[in-house]
């Protein structure tokens, strides 16, 4: 999905409609899946490698991802929105891989290694695109938002706090 905005160069006016359509489709599928146990079993058979146990009784991560992208595109200027989406698309999965494979030191429900990876990847994305204070602040805040110690799914929280931090810092720095 991030690629649809970043690489296919959707016009700014078309992106919310496209992402809104994807979100409505995924939310509808979640509604069906959560109301029909047979549909939920099929979902977990088809997406066993991607679905987490917490999704068995709740909204799928892909639905939160689509909502996070939609809100990010609607709420933030293009530069901040694209950066926030790239952080979600690249830093979050890299942190997960490193944390699961190499993580040895627990940190807020994840690992220090995963969180450090998140910050490093986020900085690699943000530093060329934004002033260092904005990039650094957004990378740190997003890494904290990525941790599951609070009620928002990280696929919703990461792009929103990244975009908010970037936009807010831009306003403060002028």
- What one-character-per-residue DSSP string does the chain give? -HHHHHTS---TTHHHHHHHHHHHHHHHHHHHHHH-HHHHHHHHHHTTTT--GGGGGS--HHHHHHHHHHHHHHHS-HHHHHHHHHIIIIIHHHHHHHHHHH--SEETTEEHHHHHHHHHHHHHHHTTTS-HHHHHHHHHHHHHHHSSSSSS-HHHHHHHHHHHHHHHHHHHH-
Lowest-pLDDT range of 9-18, 135-144, 165-174? 9-18
- Res 123: pLDDT: 98
Q: What tens digit of pLDDT does each residue of 73-98 get? A: 999 999 999 999 999 999 999 999 99
Top pLDDT among 51 and 165 is at 165
Q: Is the pTM of this model over 0.85?
A: yes
User: Percentage of residues in the chain with pLDDT exceeding 70?
Assistant: 93
Please give the average per-residue pLDDT across 98-123, as a whole number. 89
């Amino acid at each position: 999905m991030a690629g649809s905005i970043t690489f296919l160069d959707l016009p700014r006016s078309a992106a919310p409609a496209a992402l809104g359509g994807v979100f409505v489709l995924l939310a509808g599928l979640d509604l069906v899946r959560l109301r029909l146990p047979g549909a939920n079993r099929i979902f977990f058979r088809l997406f066993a490698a991607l679905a987490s146990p917490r999704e068995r009784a709740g909204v799928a991560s892909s639905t939160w991802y689509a909502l996070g992208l939609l809100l990010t595109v609607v709420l933030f200027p293009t530069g901040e929105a694209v950066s926030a989406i790239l952080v979600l698309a690249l830093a979050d999965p890299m942190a997960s891989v490193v944390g699961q494979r190499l993580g040895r030191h627990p940190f807020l429900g994840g690992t220090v290694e995963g969180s450090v990876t998140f910050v490093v990847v986020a900085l690699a994305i943000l530093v060329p695109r934004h002033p260092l204070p904005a990039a650094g602040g957004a990378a740190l805040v997003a890494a904290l938002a990525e941790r599951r110690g609070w009620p928002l799914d990280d696929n919703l929280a990461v792009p929103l706090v990244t975009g908010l931090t970037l936009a807010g810092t831009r306003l403060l720095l002028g």
